[in-house]
């Protein structure tokens, strides 16, 4: 699988994502600086990593969404290429409108960093097929602006189309309908607040996110 990880000023999980991809696919990921105007050719997957792009000024992900490389990421998605946005990357995806809704300040107004149990709501996507024999997993979160919000009409549409992929079993941030991760209507773009790249190695005591990358490798 040929993949790329986008690096913004303030990204702090880009290397973690690259290591997870290397560990599972045995192929190094391309690290692409945000000022680039194009992506490497022949990519299967683009990852928008977690962190605090541009210091989370204005709104989390708002400035990163205007970076030159993001136009190429949007074009990649529109061609049917796979895109995974993790935490801050999820925020960027909503700012670009590749995904609906928005990520707002946590309901408790505090940064939350802990392992969270997740229900796997849809195990028939390019990002989750390796979870088919499971109904839940556990992946860590680390965010201050992770509360997913959308109006009722949008939420009903997302639910009705089966686009909720992960759901919090114990909601840590007030996300509408416990949504922790969702896909676009085409099924090739996933945004999720939990960090699967931090849960791929038994040496770190967490493997609950490994199946995300295994699913992507199979899909590619």
Q: Please report the beta strands in the chain, taking only residues with DSSP state E, as ranges in sequence order.
A: 3-7, 30-33, 45-48, 82-86, 102-104, 112-120, 136-143, 147-149, 164-168, 179-183, 189-192
Residue 162 DSSP label: T
* Euclidean distance between CA atoms 88 and 103, whole angstroms: 9
The structure tokens 């790249």 sit at 197
Annotated catalytic, 113?
no
Annotated catalytic, 195?
yes
First to last CA, the chain: 6
Instruction: Please identify which of the residues 34, 76, 143, 195 carries the catalytic annotation.
Output: 195
Annotated catalytic, 159?
no
Instruction: Please identify which of the residues 13, 34, 76, 87 carries the catalytic annotation.
Output: 87
Provide the annotated active-site residues.
87, 195, 197
């Amino acid at each position: 699988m040929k993949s790329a990880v986008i690096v913004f000023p303030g990204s702090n999980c880009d290397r973690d994502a690259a290591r997870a991809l290397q560990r599972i696919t045995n192929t190094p990921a391309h690290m692409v600086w945000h000022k680039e105007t194009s992506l490497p050719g022949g990519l299967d997957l683009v990852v928008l990593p977690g962190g605090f792009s541009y210091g989370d000024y204005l709104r989390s992900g708002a400035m990163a969404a205007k970076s030159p490389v993001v136009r190429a990421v949007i074009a990649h998605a529109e061609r049917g290429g796979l895109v995974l946005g993790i935490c801050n990357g999820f925020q960027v995806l909503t700012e670009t409108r590749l995904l609906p809704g928005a990520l707002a300040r946590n309901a408790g107004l505090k940064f939350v960093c802990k392992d969270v149990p997740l229900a796997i709501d849809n195990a028939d996507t390019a990002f989750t097929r390796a979870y088919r024999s499971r109904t839940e997993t556990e992946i860590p979160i680390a965010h201050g602006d992770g509360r997913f919000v959308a109006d009722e009409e949008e939420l009903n549409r997302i639910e009705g189309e089966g686009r909720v992929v992960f759901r919090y079993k114990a909601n840590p941030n007030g996300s509408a309908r416990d949504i922790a991760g969702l896909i676009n209507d085409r099924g090739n773009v996933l945004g999720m607040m939990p960090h699967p790249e931090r849960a791929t190695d038994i040496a770190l005591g967490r493997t609950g996110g490994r199946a995300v990358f295994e699913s992507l490798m199979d899909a590619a």
